Amino acid sequence: MTRVTVLYFASLRDAAGVASEVVDSSEGDLRALYETLRARHGFALPVDRLRVAVDGAFARWDDVLRPGIEVAFIPPVSGG
Amino acid sequence: MARFSLSDTPVDTATLRANLLDDRVGAYASFEGWVRNHNQGRPVTGLRYEAYLALAESEGGRILEQTCALHDILDAHCVHRIGDLAIGELAVWVGVTAAHRDAAFAACRFIIDEVKLHVPIWKHEHYAEGDAGWLHPRRE
């Protein structure tokens, strides 16, 4: 198991009920992690409408999970 | 001052503008985005902007640096509000200085378009009917 911290924003935070959580994951990459958490929390947004960041920088969905990283799921942005 | 910043208090555009002006400047272009009272046919009473602060600042900074590298301008700044905003408040400000107007206009437009596309900021709209919702626009 890999222990990571996950950050949620906007509609994802509302659906999860928390702004962040620590997750022990057996998933291999960020895409699989999102799919697992999407099922758990009922996120409406599919993975192809999100971006993902690790430790404050944009990352790729096939990046592998590493212990202690901070993962942020980025729903479609609406600033401006 | 960082070229891109987030502010949780109202923005003083006169100061931002004054900070950009110097003797080399022949053209100054700015953009102000304001909170309007409707969206997609629904009356809006106010909104809240939330950001992923660390990534928003780095991504906004990257856009501003890219703009300075791509356009023949002297300087550029952008400030985006976060937190609760009322109708009529300034949501985002962009200011660009250049020797000539073409570059100033083009860079100003580039910055606001890129910020809207890429910076992790989300708008939570409050509607007159009493409900509220996050905007997650589709971009094909």
Chain B: residue whose CA lies nearest to A12 = B134
3-state secondary structure A22-78: EEEECCCEHHHHHHHHHHHHCCCCCHHHCEEEECCEEECCCCECCCCCEEEEECCCC
**Per-residue tens of pLDDT for chain B, all 140 residues:** 799 999 999 999 999 999 999 999 999 999 999 999 999 999 999 999 999 999 999 999 999 999 999 999 999 999 999 999 999 999 999 999 999 999 999 999 999 999 999 999 999 999 999 999 999 999 76
Does residue A80 belong to any structural domain of this protein?
Answer: no
ipTM: 0.95
Residues A12-55 pLDDT 10s? 999 999 999 999 999 899 999 999 999 999 999 999 999 999 99
Question: What's the CATH number where A67 sits?
Answer: 3.10.20.30
DSSP 3-state of B88 = coil
Integer CA distances (angstroms), B133 to A39, B129, B137, in order: 22, 12, 12
Number of domains in chain A: 1
Which element (helix H / strand E) includes B132? strand B132-134
Alpha-carbon distance A12 to nearest alpha carbon in chain B (angstroms): 10
Measured between alpha carbons, how far is A54 from B44 in angstroms, rounded to an integer? 35
Integer CA distances (angstroms), B106 to A56, B70, B92, B96, in order: 30, 10, 17, 9
pLDDT at B140: 60
pLDDT at B1: 74
Measured between alpha carbons, how far is B49 from B80 in angstroms, rounded to an integer? 9
Pick from A7, A58, A79: CB nearest B123: A79
Partner A contacted by B112 (CB < 8 A): yes
Q: Which domain holds residue A46?
A: 2-74
Answer yes or no: pTM beyond 0.90.
yes
Residues A10-21 pLDDT 10s? 999 999 999 999
Q: Does domain B19-134 have CATH number 2.60.40.1180?
A: no
The domain segmentation of chain B, as residue ranges, is 19-134
Pick from B33, B91, B120: CB nearest A77: B120
Query: What is the average pLDDT value for chain A, to the nearest integer?
Result: 97
Chain B: residue whose CA lies nearest to A7 = B52
